[in-house]
Amino acid sequence: MIPESGFLGMMLGATLGVQVVLVFLTMMSLWSWTIIFHKLILYNRTKKQVSRGYALFNDASDLSEGLSAISRDEGSPLSSVGLLAVGEFRKLEKADIERDRKRMLVKDTLRRVLRQGVSEEMKRLSSSLSFLATCANAAPFIGLFGTVWGIMHAFHSIGLSQSAALATVAPGISEALVTTAIGLVVAIPATIAYNYLLAMLGEVETELVNFAGAFLNRVEREVSWASGTSASGTRNH
């Protein structure tokens, strides 16, 4: 049996509009916490993968060894970006273009492909973050809507009972104010988590951009279309 004076009893006795708002806020809270825990695990793992892969790539003796090192971790964003760049490099290598023209194209083409690869990884990693931003901005107003609805119902009850006694209006006002409180309970963790996850994502993006620059520098230093060392630098991957 649910106590009438308890929180749950008060919510069950609330108006339909307030109950709908509470259910909606509860669903928002559950989904936002699911995203928060999932992204925390994902970003921590990704940060370690990217940092480890970037270090291995820099420590490698040549481009071929560096690509082999990052390709061992298939789940790493570095692996995806590196494979995308190597695929484009192979297309340039096989293209029926004179060597001088290839030499001019390789830098700009690889830069575009690397930028595209980084953008795709960031898009994948940032998915669902917008929902946290929505919760942070919208939840307080949704809770406020429930409060306004509840207070309207309380004043309507005053009119029907023709009594302004505190005992008449207090239950309706209290259940109305709860929706604002719950709206803040949803919004505050979502705001904190969104900013924290965005900072973590920025660190990952920095590492990816650094890797793209290191990859392009190694190609410029180690690959020579004229001497044919491009084959040894990329053909094994």
Is a pLDDT exceeding 50 seen at residue 226?
no
Is a pLDDT exceeding 80 seen at residue 215?
yes
pLDDT by residue (tens digit) across 81-132? 888 888 887 777 776 666 666 666 777 888 888 999 999 999 999 988 999 9
Closest by CA to 177, choosing from 154, 144, 152, is: 144
Residue 231: per-residue pLDDT: 40
- Using N-to-C axis directions, what is the helix angle for 16-59 and 166-222, rounded to 10°? 20
Residue 22: per-residue pLDDT: 86
Q: Between vectors from CA 25 to CA 24 and to CA 26, what angle results, nearest 5°?
A: 90
Question: What is the distance between the alpha carbons of residues 174 and 99, in angstroms, rounded to a whole number?
Answer: 78
Amino acid at 46: T
Give the mean pLDDT of the chain. 80
pLDDT by residue (tens digit) across 158-199? 665 655 555 555 666 777 778 888 999 999 999 999 999 999
Question: What is the distance between the alpha carbons of residues 166 and 164, in angstroms, rounded to a whole number?
Answer: 6
Cα 83 to Cα 41, 128, 189: the distances in Å are 25, 26, 38
Give me the phi and psi of 3, to 5 degrees please: -65, 135
Residue 79: per-residue pLDDT: 87
What is the percentage of the chain residues whose pLDDT exceeds 70?
75
Instruction: Answer left, alpha or beta for residue 128, where phi above 0 means left and psi between -120 and 50 means alpha.
Output: left
Confidence of residue 24 (pLDDT cuts 50, 70, 90): very high
Residue 47: per-residue pLDDT: 92
**Domain boundary assignment for the chain:** 13-234
Tokens of 91: 């297309």
Is a pLDDT exceeding 70 seen at residue 48?
yes
Residue 110: per-residue pLDDT: 84
Residue 19: per-residue pLDDT: 81
Query: What pTM was estimated for this model as a whole?
Result: 0.78
- The alpha carbon of 115 is separated from its chain's Cα centroid by a whole number of angstroms, namely 19
**Count of all residues that appear for the chain in the document:** 237
Is a pLDDT exceeding 90 seen at residue 75?
no
pLDDT by residue (tens digit) across 131-158? 999 999 999 999 888 888 777 766 766 6
Residue 170: per-residue pLDDT: 61
Residue 84: per-residue pLDDT: 87
Question: What is the distance between the alpha carbons of residues 86 and 92, in angstroms, rounded to a whole number?
Answer: 10
Residue 13: per-residue pLDDT: 62
DSSP code, position 177: H
Asked whether the beta carbons of 185 and 29 are under 8 A apart, the reply is yes
What is the percentage of the chain residues whose pLDDT exceeds 90?
35
